[in-house]
Amino acid sequence: MYLVIAFIAGGLFGAGLFISGMTDTTKVQGWLDVFGNWDPTLAFVMGGAMIPMAIAWLIRNRRVTSLVGTPLPPPPSTKIDGRLVTGSIMFGIGWGLAGLCPGPAIASLTYGGPGLYVFVAAMLAGMIFAPALRARLDRPVPAE
Amino acid sequence: MEMDWIWGLIGGLLIGTGGAVYLLGNGRIMGASGIIGGLVDGSGLDTKWERLVFLAGVVLLPVLLMPYYGSVDTHVTDNYVVLIAAGLLVGIGTRLANGCTSGHGVCGMSRLSLRGFVATGFYIVAGGIGVIIFRHLLGVI
């Protein structure tokens, strides 16, 4: 059952990324490029996505477990540390450089061409390398 | 195209619905970098099937929709140096920050998470400055 739900959730995510145009790197870079030909699409995608998600968080507050019986995520941490800021700045620069973030990169795997494979390979390498860097930045490593 | 914002809104609603299904159905936060990262660094192997099936859905739905669109150009640059640098920054950065556009942005900000707002603020400003530097000043993208 939880696998069916995971597939539906992933499918909605992939369909949404595709339909919204977020797998087109020019739309992402166009949104970040406030001094160029600014493209507002990403704001509508983000705003649209937050509506059902906010409702889901409100429903979550009235429930103890998920549909399949697993615990629901605890309230968010409020810890603002160097890792969060440094990581977000690194991510932002990479996002602007290529116009790709992890979700759209995976969604466009079948039609992104060879350049996309290069990006995804580098992204996966970075993700493999990250825990070693994380351990050096702070220890003990906080649980996700 | 002037209708792009409507498709952006519809796509966004679908993305958010996916996040809602994943949260209320499986008790998971729909963060792309966390789902992928947990597979490749080994930290999420206990839930590997859930992660793999989710990602299969992400890959498959665009394939099913593609015939209605003819072709879609992703305009990915052919500058491999830029792509490798960007990929490493995205991979390391999202795992250091524990989230990306979906986790911190969509899921975090919609629950008014302070970390979500801080992360999103920093990656948008950094991305904007990056585009200014690398496009308008250096001309490499």
Provide the residue ranges of all domains of chain B, joining segments of one domain with +.
4-137
pLDDT of residue B44: 96
pLDDT > 90? residue B47: yes
Work out the percent of chain B whose per-residue pLDDT is above 70.
99
- pLDDT exceeds 80 at position A66: yes
Model pTM score: 0.94
Nearest to A44 among B8, B20, B22 (CB): B8
Residue A143 has pLDDT above 80, yes or no: no
Q: Do A53 and B56 touch (CB under 8 A)?
A: no
Amino acid identity, residue B109?
M
Q: What residues of B are in contact with residue A127 (Cβ under 8 Å)?
A: 33, 36-37, 40-41, 91-92, 94-95
End-to-end CA distance of chain A: 25
Q: Is A93 in Cβ contact with B26 (below 8 Å)?
A: no
pLDDT of residue B2: 67
Q: Please give the average per-residue pLDDT across B66-71, as a whole number.
A: 90
**Chain segment A13-65, per-residue pLDDT in tens:** 999 999 999 999 999 999 999 998 999 999 999 999 999 999 999 999 999 89
What pLDDT is stored for residue A136 in this prediction? Answer: 82
**Region B39-52: what's the mean pLDDT?**
97
Is the CB of residue B103 less than 8 Å away from at least one CB of chain A?
no
Q: Is the CB of residue A12 less than 8 Å from the CB of residue B18? A: yes
Q: Give the tens place of pLDDT for each residue, B107-119.
A: 999 999 999 999 9
Residue entry with tokens 């830029």: B82
pLDDT digits (tens, 9 = 90+) for A74-113: 999 999 999 999 999 999 999 999 999 999 999 999 999 9
Q: What are the extents of the domains in chain A?
A: 2-137
Distance from CA of B111 to the nearest CA of A (A): 6
| DSSP result, B58-112 | HHHHHHHHHHHHS-------S-HHHHHHHHHHHHHHHHHTT--IIIIIIIIHTTT
Check pLDDT > 80 for residue A137: no
Displacement of CA A65 from its chain's centroid (Å): 24
ipTM of predicted assembly, 2 dp: 0.96
Comparing CB atoms, the residue among B6, B77, B89 nearest residue A90 is: B89
Contact: B57, A14; criterion CB under 8 Å: yes
B106: nearest CB among A2, A50, A118: A50
How high is the pLDDT of residue B119?
Answer: 98
From chain A, the residues in CB contact with B48 under 8 A are: none
| Confidence class for position B141, pLDDT limits 50, 70, 90 | confident
Nearest to A49 among B19, B26, B121 (CB): B19
Rounded-to-integer distance, Cα B22 and Cα A22, Å: 20
Chain B touched by A30 (CB under 8 Å): no
Q: What are the chain A neighbours of B4 within 8 Å (beta carbons)? A: 21, 27, 39, 41
